[in-house]
Structure 1
Amino acid sequence: MTSTLVKSNSIYSPTITKLPNGLTIIAEEIPVCAINLNVWFNVGSTVESNEINGMAHFLEHMIFKGSVNLASGEFERLLEAKGAVTNAATSLEYTHFYFTCTPQDFGDILPLQLDLLLNPLFPLEEFNREKKVVLEEVKRSHDNPSRKVYQKMMNNVFPNLPYHRPILGTKEIIETLTSEQMQYFHNSWYQPSAMTIVAVGNLPVEDLTQKIIDCSSLNQKILQPEKLTYLPELPFSKIISDEYTDKSLQQCRLMLTWRVPGLNSLSKTLPLDVLAVILGQGKLSRLFRDLRENKRLVTRISASNMTHQIQGNFYIAAQLSQENIPQVKEIILNHIADIQKNGVTQLELNRVCQNVANQFIFNSEKPSNRTNLYGYYYSQLGSLIPALEYTENIQKLTVEDIQKAAQKFLDLNAYGVIIANNE
């Protein structure tokens, strides 16, 4: 077992402990009247085969249906009696389970949570009952216009990467899944070597770490399967459009998207993070002021740099009337062209840097914010340094860095376009 205090110039000071079975524990003491435990698996929907798409999310549901030591629903009832809260989430490349409780209850709840995660049961009756719940969730996602246009975008950007598959799966596939397949999926992927357990709150680091080590559920070591290796998609070579009609929409949707570097090329993504803020995040952003406030051509406008491990996508999304789509698209491209030619201002860059620094401080106040930060970065990159140095690295960027990123990654003659009409 090895423990390392992560040295940083920031307000964060977590300690990382690696166990012989491959488990990583991250612990930090902060003076609040609570503890948040967040268990991260570096396993999401991307490890699924096409035949079991949706299994990772379905498994997240079934984890709470009991273990050898806990009946279905017993864990939630015990937590509710103590005033604690629990939840979980599944994404493309990770799944995490978390609870918040008082320091005095932590030692009682911790082994129950880990028992559910590592020793779940999948009784057929519960499996079939929960399958109906998941199928209803899939149906709601299909009925959600925003989810639908988002899925269209993912199909457009990542036709060959597993990112294009819906995390929830499809009705046709979910209906065919069996409890035996789920047991095999769990046995394959839910292993200590795939886990990062993060505990932050009002107990000494040594106590937090030792309580996790003492849980008998973790005394196992099984080799995790090799994940499939994928290559990034090639940059768009032309404009690829996907236009469809959804009469349930009150307003049309327009999305422009580019393939950009992912987490594995983190230094290249930082200027794109800044560019997204300058273009379309907040009321001071260029697109909001021009398209929303001045010209009144959109009701909503946003920009985002979405980072996945293998590859990311930079996108701009607008809600608007159908007759405004051509003009809005042209204006968006003109704003990008202006940055490519003239760059951004130092004032804009300073504003973004200050906002990032402030958010970093604000997000340090709650244990859950810290466990999410640590768990995400360590489960995805195997290091906390990129998280703890994010603000510092953003503040090192120059206006030239932002301009070069726009020139290199946002080709005005090659990108994806999603248009959702409402008539």
Structure 2
Amino acid sequence: MLTSVLDSSKTHVPTIVNLNNGLTIIAEQMPVEAVNLNVWLRVGSALESNEINGMAHFLEHMVFKGTPKLKSGEFEQLIEQRGAVTNAATSQEYTHFYITSAPKDFADLVPLQLDVVFNPMIENEAFERERLVVLEEIRRSHDNPNRRTFYRAMETCFESLPYRRPVLGPASVIEGLTSQQMREFHGSCYHPTSVTAVAVGNLPVEELIDTVANGFEETYYTQKTISDSYQSLRFPDAPESPFKDIVRQEYEDDKLQQARLIMMWKVPGFLELNETYALDVLASILGKGKTSRLFRDLREEKGLVSQISVSNMTQKVQGMFYLAAKLSTDKITEVEKIIIQHLRKIQQESVKEEELKRIKRQAINRFIFSNERPSDRTNLYGYYYSQMHDLNPALSYPQIIQSLTLDDIQKAAQKYLNLNAYGVTIVKN
């Protein structure tokens, strides 16, 4: 067993333990009368092939439908009896299951949480019932205008990387999946080397670690057989080439009350993490909050959009820098032109010192405010460690942002935001 404590100069000092069986445990004592266990697995839609797209999310549902020790629904009943809460989420590159309890109940509830994660029965009858639930979730996602627009933008941005596919998968694929396929998928993907278990709360670190380690040993009692069908599953490891010209995709959507304009660039992800920080700042300067450049110009001063935002979405292999606006169809061309003018000005002159100072203050405060609860910390630690096997980038984020210069922001805009080559998704109402 290997144990490490991160640099004590960082804001938080979690302890990381790597067990001989491959399981990673991260623990931190926090003086709040709650404990959160968050089990992160490197399993998501980006791992899937087209033929099983949506399997990881469907499996997240089935995890709660009974184990050899717990009947379907019994886990939730036992959790609720203690006043604890539990939930789960699936994304492109991870799935995580979490529970928050009182410190006195933690030792009793941890084995239950781990049992449902690692020993789901995935029985045929329950599988067929839950398939209908997942199909309804897919239908509802298609009825959501923001989700529809986002899916179309991802399809415009990525030609082959699996980020272009929806996490829920298409209904046609979900309709064809079998319970046996899911059992094999679970056996191949839910194993110790894929797991980062994070525990934060008001218990000693040693007790948190021992409780999780013992709970895992107690519940991971069946060695999973890796199916030949899934031995080759792996996340992509190479980014796509940047856009070579302006790629436009236009759609009609009569259910929208306003048109949508999305502009996007392929940018570095976690594989080139140092390149992402300046893009984070640039996104904030352009389109986060009422003092951002595009909000003030396009909404407050010119009244050309009802809403505009800018994000630098960082994923493991490749990210997406995108600007999204709600506006009248007849304003699309004008707004795109003004956005390009703003980007060109930054590339030529960089940004103002007061803008950069404001964003630095926001970044530090946002980091502090978003990590006040045990569940916040387990999300932070679990996300970064499951993706990078390293917590230092997460804990150092405010300091790294503080170190950025005006020149860093200008160079990032010049390097990654080509004004003659980007993606555009337009949805007209």
User: Scaled by the length of structure 1, what TM-score is found?
Assistant: 0.98
Partner of 1:192: 192
Name the SS for the 2:420 alignment partner: coil
Cα displacement string for residues 176-214 of structure 1 (whole angstroms, at most 9, x for unaligned residues): 000000000000000010000000000000000001111
Aligned pair 1:371/2:378, yes or no?
yes
Task: Write the mapping of 1:195-234 to structure 2, written as runs, cut at 5 A.
Answer: 195-215=195-215, 216-218=218-220, 225=231, 227-234=234-241
- Tell me the distance in 2 between the aligned counterparts of 1:255 and 1:157: 10
Q: State the Cα distance separating 1:81 from its structure 2 match.
A: 1.3
What is aligned with 2:269? 262
What secondary structure is seen at the aligned counterpart in 2 of 1:257? strand
| In structure 1, C-alpha distance between the alignment counterparts of 2:402 and 2:315, rounded to whole Å | 23
Query: Identical aligned pairs, as a percentage?
Result: 56
The answer to whether the 8 A contact 2:46-2:236 is kept is no
Q: Is the 8 A contact 1:8 1:388 kept in 2?
A: no
Match of 1:104 in 2: 104
Mapped pair 1:337 → 2:373: no
Deviation at 1:230, TM superposition (A): 3.8
Asked whether the equivalents of residues 292 and 298 of structure 1 are also in contact (C-alpha less than 8 Å), the reply is yes
Q: Tell me the CA shift for residue 10 of structure 1.
A: 3.0
Report the CA distance between 1:218 and its aligned residue: 3.7
Measured against aligned partners, the alpha-carbon deviations of 1:4-59 in whole angstroms (never above 9, x if no partner) come to: 11114233110000001110000000100100110000111111111110000000
**What residue number does 1:282 align with?**
289
C-alpha deviations, 1:137-170, integer Å up to 9, x for none? 1111111111111011111111111111110001
What is aligned with 2:427? 420
- Determine which of 277, 298, 304 is the counterpart of 1:297: 304
| 1:294-333 C-alpha deviation (Å, 9 max, x unpaired) | 1111111000000111100100000011111111111111
Contact 2:26 2:197 in 1 (8 A): yes
**Structure 2 unaligned residues grouped into runs of 5+:** none
8 Å contact from structure 2 (residues 187, 225) kept in 1: no
Count of aligned pairs between the two proteins: 422
- Structure 2 Cα separation of the partners of residues 8 and 250 of structure 1: 52
Change (3 A) 1:372 1:177: same
What is residue 168 of structure 2 aligned with on the other side?
Answer: 168
Post-superposition Cα deviations, 1:79-134, rounded to whole Å, max 9, x if no partner, equal 11111111100000000000111001101110001011111111111100000000
SS where residue 326 of structure 2 aligns? strand
2:54 maps to what in 1? 54
Task: Give, as a single letter, the amino acid of the residue that structure 2 aligns with 1:12.
Answer: H
Q: How far apart are the structure 2 equivalents of 1:27 and 1:338?
A: 46
Cα 1:33/1:269, change in 2 over 3 Å = same
Kindly indicate whether residue 149 of structure 2 is the aligned counterpart of residue 146 of structure 1: no
1:306 and 2:307 are equivalent in the alignment = no
Q: Give the aligned residue type for 1:237.
A: K
Equivalent residue, structure 2, for 1:406 = 413
Q: Provide the residue aligned with 2:249 in structure 1.
A: 242
Ranges in structure 1 where 5+ consecutive residues have no aligned partner: none
SS where residue 86 of structure 1 aligns? strand
Paired residue for 2:74? 74
Any conservation in 2 of the 1:89–1:96 contact (CA below 8 Å)? yes
State the distance in 1 between where 2:99 and 2:383 align. Answer: 16
2:46 and 2:53 map into 1 onto residues whose CA distance is: 9
Deviation per CA, 1:383-407: give whole Å up to 9, x if none. 0011011111111110000000000
Hey, what's the Cα distance between the residues in 2 that align with 1:352 and 1:155?
31
Indicate if the aligned counterparts of 1:122 and 1:179 stay in contact, CA closer than 8 A. Answer: yes
Q: Residue type matched to 2:335 in 1?
A: V
CA RMSD of aligned residues (A): 1.2
Separation in structure 1 between the aligned mates of residue 140 and residue 352 of structure 2, nearest angstrom: 43
Q: Which amino acid aligns with 1:374?
A: Y
Structure 1 equivalent of residue 36 of structure 2: 36
Q: Which residue of 1 aligns with 2:368?
A: 361
Partners of 1:8 and 1:389 within 8 A in 2: no
Amino acid at match of 2:181: Q
